């Protein structure tokens, strides 16, 4: 179901989380649960995977993750600010130590001149550390954009899981 490179990344993340005693949460919009799916495709992932939030609508982002209406109104759902709020909300509303969030425009519709199809914001939050975020513009059709977003989210998650303490 997932390409080998996604499964390898997921396996590395889970190994790093086991080594560091970190539990995981994911908060997803445009990927619709694919990041969680990639992680849970690895046998034994239940040791480290705490929960996943699929928050496709703005209302769900607010209700499930605590993303403020004012942040959504000021920046739009596809923004670094919302990705960061989603990741931080996933930590606040779980017992996870590390969370990744993805929000974007997978297409084919929904784009504006300022926010093209393929625009994806990803953020990772880890307890006791600053939240980090990335902006990507991926190419291809809806499936390609979503898969690239999953891979980028896993790469960011791995970087945060293996970052030295301090």
Residues 68-122 have pLDDT tens digits of 999 999 999 999 999 999 999 999 999 999 999 999 999 999 999 999 999 999 9
H or E stretch including 100?
strand 98-104
pLDDT, position 53:
98
> Tokens 């970190």 correspond to what residue?
22
CATH top-level class for 4-162? alpha beta
H or E stretch including 43?
none
For residue 131, report the phi and psi dihedrals to the nearest 5 degrees: -75, 140
**CB-side exposure of 129: number of CA atoms within 13 Å?**
20
Residues of 125-141 as b/e, b for ≥16 C-beta within 10 angstroms?
bbeeeebbbbebebeee
pTM listed for this prediction: 0.97
How is residue 104 written in tokens? Answer: 């974007």
Using 50, 70 and 90 to split pLDDT, how confident is the model at 166? low
Taking only the tens place, the pLDDT of each residue in 37-68 is 999 999 999 999 999 999 999 999 999 999 99
Ordered by start, the domain boundaries in the chain are: 4-162
32 pLDDT above the threshold of 90: yes
Q: Which residues contact 94 (CB under 8 A, 6 or more apart)?
A: 23, 25, 50, 51
pLDDT, position 52:
98
**CB-side exposure of 76: number of CA atoms within 13 Å?**
13
Using 50, 70 and 90 to split pLDDT, how confident is the model at 165? confident
Which residues are paired to 123 by β-bridges?
101, 133
């Amino acid at each position: 179901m997932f390409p080998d490179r996604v499964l390898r990344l997921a396996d590395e993340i889970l190994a790093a989380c086991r080594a560091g005693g970190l539990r995981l949460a994911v908060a997803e919009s445009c990927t619709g649960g694919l990041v969680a799916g990639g992680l849970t495709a690895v046998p034994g992932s239940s040791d480290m995977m705490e929960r996943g939030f699929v928050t496709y609508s703005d209302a769900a982002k607010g209700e499930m993750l605590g993303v403020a209406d004012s942040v959504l109104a000021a920046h739009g759902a596809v923004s670094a600010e919302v990705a960061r709020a989603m990741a931080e909300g996933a930590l606040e509303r779980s017992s996870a130590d590390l969370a990744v969030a993805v929000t974007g425009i997978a297409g084919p519709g929904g784009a504006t001149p300022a926010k093209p199809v393929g625009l994806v914001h990803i953020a990772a939050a880890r307890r006791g550390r600053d939240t980090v975020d990335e902006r990507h513009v991926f190419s291809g059709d809806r499936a390609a954009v979503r898969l690239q977003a999953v891979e980028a989210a896993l790469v960011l998650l791995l970087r945060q899981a293996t970052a030295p303490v301090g």
